Amino acid sequence: MDAAEPIRALRRHFGFAEFREPQQAIIRSVLDGRDTLVVMPTGGGKSLCYQLPAMLLPDVTVVVSPLIALMKDQVDALVARGIPAGMVNSAQGAEEQREVFRRVREGGLRLVYIAPERFRSRYFTDMLAGVRVSLFAVDEAHCLSQWGHDFRPDYLRLANALGHIGRPPVVALTATATPDVRADIVTQLALRDPALFISGFARKNLHFTVNAIAPNLTRGGDSLFAAKIERVSALVREHRTGIVYCATRKSVERVSEALPPGRCVAYHGGMDDTARTSAQERFMRGEIPVAVATNAFGMGIDRADIRFVAHFEMPGSVEAYYQEAGRAGRDGRPAHCEMLFNYSDRRVQEFFLEGTNPGRDTLDKVNATLWALADAEKNIRCSIDELGEKIAAATRTKINPMAVGTALTILARHRVIERFDIPGQRIRGTRLLLPGSDTPLDINWETLSEKRRRDESKLEAVIQYAYTRICRQRWILGYFGETGGTDCDLCDTCASPGNAQRRVPDDAELLLVRKALSGLARMCERVNADDWQPRFGRQRVIDCLLGKDTEDIRKARLNALSTHGILRDETRAYLTALFGELEREGLVQGVEKATADGKKLPLLALTKAGAQVMRGETTFKLEWPGRGIAGTPPRGRRERADTAPAPARQKALLTKLRNYRAVVAKKSGNTPPYIVLHKAGLEALAQEQPLTIDDALKLPGITTRNLRVLPAFLDIIRRHREEHNAP
């Protein structure tokens, strides 16, 4: 093919004068017949990477797309350009689907969009095998990976379908994928020596902000909701056109009702197809300036003039947040992305996390209930909601309704059951595949446990993002594996007056940090140059750096390390504060590791950015802990700062905090109290008596790992101060 033909096709079919980077190289790879994986940010032009080749290849291009609304928008846009395109999905009847395949066989379509659930049917894949396919495009390819933020089990059928239709070249595309997800996409699709294109994740026109919203207690009622609505209303007035993402359907309805009539549309999965389609089309046509929606809204939304995206509650992962926020400013003009953050919103995401990660006990209960409900042919015909009610009644326990649907998906994936469509009904039936109810479930429990751990880590990452004091865009880029970038100078942390306290280290400080990171590295298990698996907790690391000769140090042979005692001239309080700052800078990271008895141990890991600083490959900024503040004595003083006699009220508060910590530890399965909150953090809380999470996180011994319990400790401090009329 003439090398200039793609650019001619670009002008002829799409009206563009030139490609964006790296579209031309991607299209060249696709036209050469090479399997290709594309990671390109929202608004980067992923669709063109398979739509243009479809116009130059001899036979039809099949596009797998996860949402009916998404494929309809794309097909309508192509047809409007004179490009013959069609779609096949569950909303169509059999005759309509056959008509689409007739047009494909006769050469009447260049692209056909197919919903992933169609690949459940062998009849459908047989029909697809009867046509010649030049290219198989998998859009939103992160849906393939159970490590991703939007896993769709139906995507797992695509590898078998590819073999059934003759294994044409594949292009997989996504906007957000961590290195783990990228590797999973390659594995799940069995891509053959794929060309990998990762376009920079940076969106230089987006202004990222996390707005810590506190309830206005003087208002009464749901004061947190009222405070958030006040902020959303201000965003609508200032930016006019945008999307407000909510975590739940109920929240969508409340927010949309609270905004001025005629200014917004609501969109969530509980609405019927007609209402959802109408809402999306009114927004896309520009009739309504604001959409209030769950994450069901957005894939493929290409309205260019979206000036703001607000998250009313925290999302469940950084991947989801960046994909949704990235729908702002697709025209390249400045746009605002704001998360309305309150730590209590975490409970909603934890509910979702429980629902998408049912434990072994839940799976056993679902399986047993299915056998109790099955007819003679081992079939069950009832909705998921009804099934959840029956499980709850049979076991006399509450069960997360989401967990029932997830359990059915897991059981189907492991061939314990199979789901089937019931003609004329919207619910799906369930067929049992095992010989009997006492047959053991052959399920990879370790994989399910690992998925839950990763989902918990994703939620923790959102919390860390909310509390970070470094450039938000640079933090996000580091999350996706891009390091060494510069600050954006646009986000709230870059613009914050408090950020002026962050500075690059002098020579002595740089040496100190590199020693600290080097000591941590030697206490981690090195997988490769940038992957350091943690083995010890923060205080054990500090003990080693201080040169302590305790039984725990000797037992772990840490006293044999060359870095044992490398920072013996520092104090525990200073190193505790320093590691807190290093964590907020993203150079170290707290992670949790489950023990054999189900408890979780907080460990400290070296990050990729930390490894680069340790090796002298990049620099950093830090808000350096002061000497002699918050319990930190000047360098060289070996006595403990907390040995000075404290006022009686401070001692009384310390006792209250210590007693509460003991209660939490006991309720957590007799977890050691220091795991709930380390002694250094407890004493710093009693001494400084902070009233906000932000102030607490500045203290030695307090890290983002303590965010689950901090609100309760702060409440104790607040009541204590009120009792003593403290300001």
Per-residue pLDDT reduced to its tens digit, 393-445: 776 777 888 888 889 889 988 899 988 878 777 778 889 999 998 899 989 88
Could you tell me what percentage of the chain is helix, strand and coil, using 3-state DSSP and rounding each to the nearest 5? 45, 15, 40
Say whether pLDDT at 336 is over 90.
Answer: yes
Say whether pLDDT at 288 is over 90.
Answer: yes
Taken in order 696, 697, 700, 702, the sign of the CA dihedral is: positive
Nearest to 524 by CA among 509, 538, 510, 543: 538
pLDDT at 636: 38
Per-residue pLDDT band for 540 (boundaries 50, 70, 90) equals very high
Instruction: Report cis status (omega within 30 of 0) of the bond before 22.
Output: yes
Say whether pLDDT at 330 is over 50.
Answer: yes
Q: 37 and 185 in contact (C-beta within 8 Å)? A: yes
**Tokens 């102030």 — which residue?**
695
Q: 457 and 594 in contact (C-beta within 8 Å)? A: no
pLDDT at 644: 40
Look at residue 504 and give its three-state secondary structure: coil
DSSP notation for 87-117: EE-TTS-HHHHHHHHHHHHTT--SEEEE-GG
DSSP notation for 360-381: HHHHHHHHHHHHHH--TTSEE-
Most confidently predicted of 5-14, 299-308, 684-693: 5-14
Is the model's pTM score more than 0.85? Answer: no
Strands 85-88 and 111-114: parallel
CA distances from 198 to 32, 38, 54, 299, 531 (A): 19, 6, 22, 19, 20
Strands 531-533 and 525-528: antiparallel
Per-residue pLDDT band for 727 (boundaries 50, 70, 90) equals low
Average pLDDT over residues 158-163: 91
148-182: string of b/e by CB count within 10 Å (b at 16+)? bbbbbbbbbbbbebbeebeebbbbbbbbbbbeebb
Average pLDDT over residues 359-363: 89
**Tokens 């996504």 — which residue?**
174
pLDDT at 2: 76
Bridge partners of 38, per DSSP, are 173, 197
pLDDT at 128: 85
Look at residue 673 and give its three-state secondary structure: helix
Residue type, 377: E
CA dist., res. 227 & res. 232, Å (int) = 9
Nearest to 91 by CA among 74, 109, 69: 69
Dmax over CA atoms of the chain, in Å, equals 90
Say whether pLDDT at 188 is over 50.
Answer: yes
φ, ψ for residue 496 (rounded to 5)? Answer: -70, 135
pLDDT at 484: 65
Nearest to 671 by CA among 605, 598, 604: 598
Count of positions (residues) in the chain: 727
How many Cβ atoms are within 10 Å of 482's Cβ, its own excluded? Answer: 15
Listed range (171-180, 192-201, 294-303) with the worst mean pLDDT: 294-303
Tokens of 230: 């006040």
> Secondary structure of 200-254 in the HEC alphabet?
CCCCCCEEEEEEECCCCCCCCCCHHHHHHHHHHHHHHHHHCCEEEECCCHHHHHH
**Domains of the chain by range and CATH?**
5-198 (3.40.50.300), 206-341 (3.40.50.300), 363-447 (1.10.10.10), 502-643 (1.10.10.10), 648-723 (1.10.150.80)
Strands 428-432 and 417-421: antiparallel
Listed range (314-328, 524-538, 706-720) with the worst mean pLDDT: 524-538
Say whether pLDDT at 627 is over 50.
Answer: yes
Strands 242-245 and 36-39: unpaired
Say whether pLDDT at 661 is over 50.
Answer: yes
Say whether pLDDT at 497 is over 80.
Answer: no
pLDDT at 634: 38
Average pLDDT over residues 133-153: 85
Nearest to 62 by CA among 26, 87, 27: 87
Residue type, 134: S
Per-residue pLDDT band for 594 (boundaries 50, 70, 90) equals low
Nearest to 684 by CA among 631, 611, 615, 722: 631
> Secondary structure of 166-182 in the HEC alphabet?
CCCCEEEEECCCCHHHH
Nearest to 449 by CA among 600, 594, 346: 594
Tokens of 48: 């063109």
DSSP notation for 249-302: HHHHHHHHHHSPTTSEEEE-TTS-HHHHHHHHHHHHTTSSSEEEE-TTS-TT--
Listed range (373-377, 388-392, 445-449, 591-595) with the worst mean pLDDT: 591-595
CA distances from 185 to 98, 143, 144, 164 (A): 31, 9, 6, 19
Percentage above 70 pLDDT, the chain = 92
pLDDT at 302: 72
Percentage above 90 pLDDT, the chain = 37
Look at residue 417 and give its three-state secondary structure: strand
Q: 82 and 55 in contact (C-beta within 8 Å)? A: no
Say whether pLDDT at 637 is over 60.
Answer: no
Q: 529 and 615 in contact (C-beta within 8 Å)? A: no
How many Cβ atoms are within 10 Å of 3's Cβ, its own excluded? Answer: 7
Listed range (105-114, 477-486, 518-527) with the worst mean pLDDT: 477-486
Q: 605 and 531 in contact (C-beta within 8 Å)? A: no
Q: Higher model confidence: residue 146 or residue 340? A: 340
pLDDT at 280: 87
CA dist., res. 141 & res. 175, Å (int) = 9
